[in-house]
Chains A and B, each alone.
Chain A
Amino acid sequence: MEKQNRKGWLYLLPAFIFLGVFMIYPLVDVFVYSFEEGYNSASQTFYDTGMYNYSYVLHDPYFLQAVKNTFILVVITVPVSTGLALLISLALSSIRPLKELFQTVYFLPYVTNTLAVGLVFMILFKKTAYSDGLVNLLIHWFGGSSVDFIDGPYWAKMFVLCFYTVWVVMPFKILILTSALASVNQVYYNAARVDGTSRFRIFRKITLPMISPTVFYLIITGFIGAFKAYSDAVALFGTNLNAAEMNTIVGYVYDMLYGDSGGYPSYASAAAILLFAIVLTITCINLLVSRSHVHYS
Chain B
Amino acid sequence: MERQPDYNQIRKSAHLRRIAGNVAIYGLLALWAVIVLFPFYWMVLTSVKSYSSYNAEHVPSFFTLSPTLQNYADAFTTVPLGQYLINTLIFTVITTLIMVAVITLAAFAFARLEFRGKNLAFTLFLSLMMIPNELVVITNFTTITNLGWRNTFIGLILPSVTSVFYIYLLRENFAQVPDELYYAAKVDGTPDLRYLRKVMIPICRPTLTTIVILKVIECWNSYVWPRLITDDPDYYLVSNGIQEIRENGFGRENIPAMMAAVVVISVPLILLFLIFRKKVMEGVARGGTKG
A interface residues with partner B (beta carbon < 8 Å): 4-9, 11-12, 14-16, 18-19, 21-27, 29-30, 33, 41, 81, 87-88, 91-92, 94-95, 98, 102-117, 119-121, 123-124, 130-134, 137, 165, 167-173, 175-176, 179, 199, 221-222, 224-226, 228, 230-231, 234-235, 238-239, 250, 253-254, 257-258, 265, 268-269, 272-273, 275-276, 279
Contact = CB atoms under 8 A, between A and B. Distances in A.
B138 A120 contact: no
A22 B158 contact: yes
Given A8-B114, A123-B42, A130-B58, A26 B135 contact: yes
Given A8-B109, A41-B142, A95 B291 contact: no
Interface in B248-291: 251, 255, 258-259, 261-262, 265-266, 269-270, 272-274, 277, 280-281, 284-285, 288-291
Interface stretch (B176-184, B204-212, B238-246): B238-246
Given A8-B114, A253-B134, 15 more contacts: A5-B115, A26-B136, A26-B137, A26-B138, A33-B138, A104-B274, A106-B32, A112-B221, A115-B242, A116-B239, A116-B262, A175-B284, A225-B290, A258-B141, A272-B138
Interface of B: 21-22, 25-26, 28-29, 32-33, 35-37, 39-40, 42-43, 46, 55, 57-60, 101-103, 105-106, 108-110, 113-118, 121, 125, 128, 131-132, 134-143, 158-159, 161-162, 164, 167, 192, 217, 220-221, 223-224, 227-228, 238-239, 242-243, 246-247, 251, 255, 258-259, 261-262, 265-266, 269-270, 272-274, 277, 280-281, 284-285, 288-291
B195 to A, nearest CB: 12
Given A110-B290, A120-B262, A273 B135 contact: yes
B262 A108 contact: no
A276 B40 CA distance: 35
Given A115-B243, A257-B228, A272 B134 contact: yes
